[in-house]
Amino acid sequence: MKKLFSLAFAVFLLSNVVYPQWKSSDIPDSLKRNADAVIRRLATDIKIIGLNKVIVSENIVVTVLNEQGKIYGNFSEYYDKDSRIEYVKGVVCDDHLEVVKRLKRSDFKDQSMVADYSIYEDNRIITYEVFQTSYPFTVEYECRKVLNTAMFIPSWYPQSGYRLGVEKANMKVSCIDSNPLIYKLMNIDKPSKTVDENGFDVFLWDVSNLKPIEKEPYSPSFYEFAPAVIQSVTSFTLGGFYGHMDSWKSYGQWLHSLKLGRSDLSIEAQTKVQELVKNETILRNKVQLIYKYMQSHTRYVSIQLGVGGWQPFPASSVEKNGYGDCKALVNYTYSLLKAAGIKSFYCPIGVGDRKIIFDDFPGAGQTNHIILCVPNGVDSLWLECTSQQYPFAFISHEFQNQKVLLVDGDSSRLVRIPRGVAEKNVQTRLVNIKLDSIGNAEGRMVTKEYSAELENLFPEVWSNKKDQAEIVQRKYRIPGIIYSSIEYQLDDNSEPTGNERISFKVNGYASQTGRRLFIPFNPFSQGSTVPVKVKRRLRDVEIDECFTHIDTITYNIPKGFTIEYSPKPKSISGLFGSYNSIVNVDGDKLITIRKYTQNRGKYPAKEYNNFIDFLLEVSKQDKQSLVLVNK
Tell me: pLDDT of 306 over 70: no
User: What average pLDDT does range 524-540 have in this prediction?
Assistant: 90
Please report, as a single letter, which amino acid is at residue 212: P
Q: In degrees, to the nearest 5, what angle opens at C-alpha 252 toward C-alphas 249 and 255?
A: 160
- Exposed, middle or buried, 106 (CB in 10 Å: 0-12/13-18/19+)? exposed
Question: CA quadruple 406, 411, 415, 418: dihedral positive or negative?
Answer: negative
pLDDT attached to residue 303: 64
The answer for residues whose C-beta is within 8 angstroms of residue 368's C-beta and 6 or more apart is 350, 351, 352, 354
- DSSP for 178-235 reads TS-EEEEEESSPPPEEEE-TTS-EEEEEEEEEEPPPPP-TTPPPHHHHS-EEEEEESE
Residue 185, strand partner residues: 229
pLDDT in tens, 470-501: 999 989 989 899 999 999 999 877 789 999 99
- By CB neighbour count within 10 A (0-12 exposed, 13-18 middle, 19+ buried), where does 199 fall? exposed
Percent above pLDDT 70 for the chain:
94
Domain ranges of the chain: 3-238, 250-416, 426-630
Task: Yes or no: say if 464 and 447 are a contact pair by the CB < 8 Å rule.
Answer: no
Report how far residue 86's alpha carbon sits from residue 82's, in angstroms, rounded to the nearest whole number.
13
CA distance linking residue 455 with residue 515, whole number of Å:
43
Do residues 510 and 504 make contact, with C-beta atoms less than 8 angstroms apart?
no
Q: What is the pLDDT of residue 7?
A: 38
What lies within 8 Å, CB to CB, of 98 at 6+ separation is: none
Cβ-based neighbours of 389, under 8 Å, separated by 6 or more: 295, 461, 462, 490
For residue 4, what pLDDT is reported?
A: 41
Task: Summarize pLDDT for 253-292 with one digit per residue, the tens.
Answer: 999 999 999 999 999 999 999 999 999 999 999 999 999 9
Average pLDDT over residues 223-227: 92
Which amino acid, one-letter code, is at 173?
Answer: V
- Higher-confidence residue of 4 and 114: namely 114
Q: Residue 621 pLDDT > 90, yes or no?
A: yes
- b/e sequence 412-434, b meaning 16+ C-beta within 10 Å: bebeebeebbbebbbbbbebebe
Asked if residue 309 has pLDDT above 90, the reply is no
Query: What is the percent of the chain where pLDDT is above 90?
Result: 83
Please give the model's pTM, rounded to 2 decimal places: 0.89
Cβ 43 vs Cβ 56: under 8 Å: no
Q: Is the per-residue pLDDT at 131 higher than 50?
A: yes
CATH says 3-238 is which class?
Answer: mainly beta
Mean pLDDT of the chain: 92
Closest CA to 617 of 550, 553, 571: 571
- The DSSP call for residue 156 is B
CA distance 338 to 6: 41
Tell me how far apart the alpha carbons of residues 331 and 319 are, in angstroms, rounded to a whole number. Answer: 11
Does the pLDDT value for residue 164 go beyond 90? yes
- Which contacts of 21-26 are long-range, i.e. CB under 8 A and separated by 24 or more positions? 22/61, 22/63, 22/93, 22/97, 22/138, 23/97, 24/63, 24/65, 24/95, 24/136, 24/138
Q: What is the pLDDT of residue 20?
A: 65
pLDDT band at 5 (very low <50, low <70, confident <90, very high): very low
Looking at residue 377, its pLDDT comes to: 87
Integer Cα distance of 219 and 540 in angstroms = 6
122 pLDDT more than 90: no
Three-state SS for 336?
helix
Give the CA distances from residue 477 to residues 45, 224, 244, 482, 488, in Å, rounded to whole numbers and listed in that order.
Answer: 52, 35, 53, 11, 19
Q: State the pLDDT at residue 121.
A: 53
- What are 60-92's pLDDT values in tens digits? 999 999 999 999 999 999 998 889 999 999 999
What pLDDT was estimated at residue 216? 96
Q: Write the CB contacts of 138 (distance below 8 Å, at least 6 apart in sequence).
A: 18, 22, 24, 40, 61, 62, 63, 64, 92, 93, 95, 97
pLDDT for 11 beyond 90: no
Q: Are 413 and 248 in contact (CB under 8 A)?
A: yes
Q: Would you state the pLDDT for residue 294?
A: 97
pLDDT for the residue 596: 97
Number of H helices, E strands in the chain: 10, 38
Q: Does position 114 have pLDDT exceeding 70, yes or no?
A: no
On the question of pLDDT at 458 being above 50, the answer is: yes
Q: Average of pLDDT values for 217-244?
A: 93
**What pLDDT, on the 0 to 100 scale, is given for residue 228?**
96
Looking at domain 250-416, its CATH architecture is: Roll (3.10)
Q: Look at residue 14 in the predicted model and tell me its pLDDT.
A: 47
Confidence of residue 116 (pLDDT cuts 50, 70, 90): very low
Whether residue 360 contacts residue 367, with contact meaning beta carbons closer than 8 Å, is answered with no
Q: Residue 571 above 50 pLDDT?
A: yes
Phi, psi at 619, each rounded to 5°: -60, -40
Does pLDDT of 16 surpass 70? no
Q: Give pLDDT tens digits for 333-349.
A: 999 999 999 999 999 99
Which residue, among 139, 128, 143, 136, has the nearest Cα to 40 in the 3D structure? 139
| CA angle (555 as vertex; 551, 558 as ends), nearest 5 | 170
Give 123's pLDDT tier (boundaries 50, 70, 90).
confident
CATH (residue range 426-630): 2.60.120.1130
